[in-house]
Amino acid sequence: MIRNSTRRSGTRAILLAAALAAGTAAAQTPRPVAELPAPPALNVSSFVLMEQETGTILASLEPDLRVEPASITKIMSAYAVFEALAAGEASFHEEAVISEKAWRMQGSRTFLDLNSRVSVENLLLGMIVQSGNDASVALAEHLAGAEEDFTILMNAIAQRLGMTGTNFENSTGWPGENHYTTAMDTAILTRAMIQDYPTLYGMHALREFTWNGIRQPNRNTLLARDATVDGVKTGHTESAGYCLVASAVRDEMRLIAVVMGAASESQRVQDALRLLSYGFRYFETRTLLQAGADFGSARVWKGEDTVVGLTVQDDVVMTLPKRASERIETRVVIDEPLIAPLEAGQRVGKIALIQDGETIAELELVPERAVPSGGLWQRTRDSVLLWFE
């Protein structure tokens, strides 16, 4: 993918080429990348292993299968609240009144008192760390007036992010006939949260939260098992099975593992850990081209200068099997002849990255500086010389 070096850190990069064949299409069995050991064969409904910076899919099983998300839903609920906080539409310190609907919620709870006033910050902690259904409903009602209206916001965000296999009916993950998502959509959402709200995302790494004198540990037990894991969310209902979204950073590479429909709590943890271990062991994310790098020079006709340096405006960052970058070649093609005037940023050619005879990425070459038209003598002289080129 291309990363524009002038954009702020954390903005989404553009995936140029699907360098890996693990793919985004649905599969009946785990799909290995060529020349790599097969990914773990997990006995689950679906899974996705994604590299966060580039969005590359390293392994998948039925990634587009519609499944019940259970409390994985709360990743979207949190994203919607984070968006409101970033836009100034809410603040950590403002308080929500706990309604009877929120107070009566069953399942996992923060144990909020009826008609009490609780800050948005504490409700977020209750929802994220304790998976509190009461906290989720309280946040939804506070931000949108009613949970039903909050789900309209959730679905609008899903559509904007390209989550084409998702529909939410509530903010908690309570089972519903038309409440579903996919492993792929969940990975897309998690990636967006980490990129768009990296500081707020840090709440998912908290190991415990106490409210009303009741201490509850984070249900994501991978946080205690692996120091590189800093999120994200668990989910479970009888119909959904055991679900887990885990994210970890090792050697400056972040992976996202989504496991849906495991048979037990211990299995979802073990399966997520197997996926993360596979990705970190066999893949790496590298900057293959850097913005501003020198790619030689080219003859310029009819300009004040006769030669101009060539460069690129963007980084090319890709996730590839380890050591695969050693087999990558660069091929420069110039759109000759280059005739002035040339503007800064104007395409004057392209540079392709070639691996095993296949183009895996392509980037425009641009002049390192603008080249104005030359004088009458220079333009006339070069016009004559071009006849002999």
Q: Is 131 a catalytic residue?
A: yes
Angle between helices 147-161 and 133-144 (to 10 degrees): 90
* pLDDT per residue as tens, the chain (389 positions): 545 433 333 322 323 333 333 333 333 344 444 568 999 999 999 999 999 999 999 999 999 999 999 999 999 999 999 999 999 999 999 999 999 999 999 999 999 999 999 999 999 999 999 999 999 999 999 999 999 999 999 999 999 999 999 999 999 999 999 999 999 999 999 999 999 999 999 999 999 999 999 999 999 999 999 999 999 999 999 999 999 999 999 999 999 999 999 999 999 999 999 999 999 999 999 999 999 999 999 998 888 999 999 999 999 999 999 988 788 898 999 998 989 899 988 999 999 999 888 888 888 999 999 999 888 888 888 688 888 77
Q: Is 71 a catalytic residue?
A: yes
Looking at 131, 136, 171, 247, which residue is catalytic?
131
pLDDT confidence of residue 34 = 52
Contacts of 28 (CB under 8 A, 6+ apart): 62
For residues 318-348, b (16+ Cβ closer than 10 Å) or e, as one string? bbbbeebeeebeeeeebeeebbbebeeeeeb
Q: DSSP characters for 238-289?
A: TTTEEEEEEEEEETTEEEEEEEEEESSHHHHHHHHHHHHHHHHHHEEEEEEE
Looking at 45, 46, 74, 77, which residue is catalytic?
74
Contacts of 229 (CB under 8 A, 6+ apart): 220, 222, 223, 246, 247, 248, 276
CA angle 203, 126, 264 (to 5 degrees): 85
Torsion of CA 39, 59, 362, 329, to 10 degrees: -10
Looking at 60, 71, 77, 247, which residue is catalytic?
71
Residues of the chain with CATH 3.40.710.10: 2-284
- pLDDT tens digits, residue range 114-152? 999 999 999 999 999 999 999 999 999 999 999 999 999
Q: Which CATH architecture has domain 2-284?
A: 3-Layer(aba) Sandwich (3.40)
Q: How many CB atoms lie within 10 A of CB 17?
A: 17
The encoded tokens of residue 62 equal 């039925």
160: enclosing H helix or E strand: helix 147-161
Whose CA is closest to 62, among 182, 153, 219?
182
pLDDT confidence of residue 382 = 65
8 Å CB contact between 214 and 233: no
Residues of the chain with CATH 2.60.410.10: 290-386
Whose CA is closest to 69, among 225, 263, 194, 241?
241
8 Å CB contact between 278 and 39: yes
* Euclidean distance between the first and the last CA atom of the chain, given in angstroms as a whole number: 37
78: enclosing H helix or E strand: helix 74-86
pLDDT confidence of residue 20 = 34
Q: How many CB atoms lie within 10 A of CB 44?
A: 24
Q: Is 247 a catalytic residue?
A: no
Q: How many CB atoms lie within 10 A of CB 86?
A: 13
Q: What is the CA radius of gyration of the chain?
A: 26
The encoded tokens of residue 181 equal 């998502």
The encoded tokens of residue 105 equal 């919620």
Contacts of 200 (CB under 8 A, 6+ apart): 78, 82, 85
Q: Which fold has domain 290-386?
A: Peptidoglycan synthesis regulatory factor (PBP3), Domain 2 (2.60.410)
pLDDT confidence of residue 24 = 34
Q: How many CB atoms lie within 10 A of CB 73?
A: 29
